[in-house]
Amino acid sequence: MKALKTSFLFFYFLVTVLFLNHHRANAQQATDSIVKYYSDLAQNPKNVGDLTKAYQFFDSKKEYAVLKKDTVMVIYCLYTIASIEYKEGFYYDSENSAVNALELLNNIKKTDYNIGLKKSLYNHLAIIYREQNNVNKAIDLYNNALIISQTIKDSLVIFNNKSNVYKDKNDFVSAEKELQKAFRLIHRTNDTLTIALILDNLGFIKSKLNSKNALPLMIEALNYRKILKSLKTIHTSQMHLAEYYLDRNNTLKAKEYANSAYNIAIRINSASYKKNSLSLLLKLEGNKYSKEYLKISDSISKARQKSLNKFALMKYDYSEKERIAQENEFKFKESESEKKTQKIIYLTIGVFILLASIFLYFLLKSKHKKEKLQEVIITESRISKKIHDEVANDVYHVMTKLQSSTPKNSAILDDLENIYTKTRDISKENSAIDVHENFNELLTDLLLSYKNHEVNIITRNISKIKWNTVSDITKTTIYRVLQELMTNMRKHSNASLVVLSFNQTNTKITIDYNDDGVGGSIQKNTGLQNVENRIKTIKGTITFESEKEKGFKAKITI
């Protein structure tokens, strides 16, 4: 399926190029070299921060176009902004930008250029809904785009896009039907890359349906791409062919194409292409490529997170600037009499807020002191009890051994080592942690620290949580709760696999913990009781589920 994603990215690029060609047809925009520079930056970012720079430019350009009443430029800026927001994972924002552009299009004169804009926006929205697994909406939008398509090439690309929606759902029969429609039209275009795209994808789909003529179609597509020396599309063909032979247990041919795809990925220096190739090579040659795969995956993840953080911060800054600008504009339009009235009201509210803030400050300060004191008492009590129960008893046994007539030094040293380890663990469990920055890495390091040759730890979607919007106290609580669960797992569950899934809907975060340990009836001992108490302090909920020989589960909602 990862190879299919590469194909999807390729034709998404083709649609974007079509849109840019429409834009260049407008003489005024074609001469604007700055717009072209940032358009290229938005469509083909090379470094972390390129998308942020492009967004800042087009956001400013849009505001300027609004003042100049240049509606076409406003629509173009909104389209480009929507494209950037999609690439950074802000699907809701991207959808809003595209919808706003469509609303503006409906209020201006219909021209060939404007129709091209509308087609591109339909295509973009369809891609968003495809990403969100909304098949019906995606197909409807592609059909709308198909109705207003102006060239055979446009139609071919849209048929291909529709097939990919079905391909995502493994509905290969429907996917083949859409590609067959495109196949019957390819003789009417001279665009070799588009022809190769249809042939390759049709051959790949047919291979999934065990059709006999699947391989010739893919080979023909590869030959076209080799003639054009299009390395990225050659990579896609070779990945499809490698998967074709892998499905038929011909590992020799599969390795040949997979290695060729990997070499091309190295030549074009594409991290995502390398990852796709290595993923396939891992299936074929086991652990030989595991280290390189983990390295490139980690590199992509870190670069993605860095770009996402930078873009999210920029979005927040721009939203704040817009809010301030709107407030200033509103104040500017007020009459002098209204301003005086507003000043009196603001002054009154300000004095009230000031007095209320002072009162609230001292109230919260007093409450905070009590809470901190209670927390210290509880922590000291817990540590004291743990030291008494675990360390003192061990010390007593060591003393007993020393009093025996024939003590064994090695045994005593082992016991002392155990005491030291337990004391160190207690200290680590209660030590201060800095959750203000890089919490994603901090939490990942904590969870993976429990991984060893006996226990495998898997985390899902942890990097997709917007940790920068979560308060420090909540992050600290999450850290401690997961630490307690992992410690409980290590001590009691005898698990070999632990899976932690993270999900965020708006401001709500859910964490699902599952292990395959021995399970059994749930006893809310000190550890689990601490977990429950911590979650309650931040107004969250936690539920436990466990059955004998069916593992242990916990669901945290914050």
Residue 496 is classified by DSSP as S
Q: Where are the alpha helices (DSSP H) in 184-270?
A: 192-208, 214-228, 231-247, 251-268
Distance of alpha carbon 129 from alpha carbon 138, whole angstroms: 5
- pLDDT per residue over 486-522, tens digit each? 888 888 888 999 999 999 998 899 999 999 988 877 7
Distance of alpha carbon 305 from alpha carbon 378, whole angstroms: 37
Work out the pLDDT band at 412, boundaries 50, 70, 90.
low
Name the CATH architecture for the domain at 439-557.
Answer: 2-Layer Sandwich (3.30)
Evaluate the CA torsion angle 353, 354, 360, 365 in order and state its sign.
positive
Query: In this structure, are residues 386 and 427 in contact, taking their beta carbons and an 8 Å threshold?
Result: no
Beta carbons within 8 Å of 16's beta carbon, 6+ residues apart: 43, 83, 120
Work out the pLDDT band at 214, boundaries 50, 70, 90.
very high
Work out the pLDDT band at 356, boundaries 50, 70, 90.
confident
Distance of alpha carbon 272 from alpha carbon 250, whole angstroms: 25
Strands annotated E in 316-474: 456-460
Determine the average pLDDT of the residues in 413-432: 59
Determine the average pLDDT of the residues in 53-71: 89
Distance of alpha carbon 387 from alpha carbon 178, whole angstroms: 69
- State residue 352's pLDDT score: 78
Distance of alpha carbon 558 from alpha carbon 541, whole angstroms: 7
Rounded to the nearest integer, the mean pLDDT of the chain is 79
Other C-beta atoms lying within 10 Å of the C-beta of residue 85 = 23
The tokens for 425 are 């663990």
Other C-beta atoms lying within 10 Å of the C-beta of residue 25 = 12
pTM, to two decimals? 0.49
Q: 557 - beta bridge partners?
A: 510, 541
Instruction: Please name which of 223, 419, 230 lies closest in space to residue 411, comparing C-alpha atoms.
Output: 419
Determine the average pLDDT of the residues in 467-478: 88
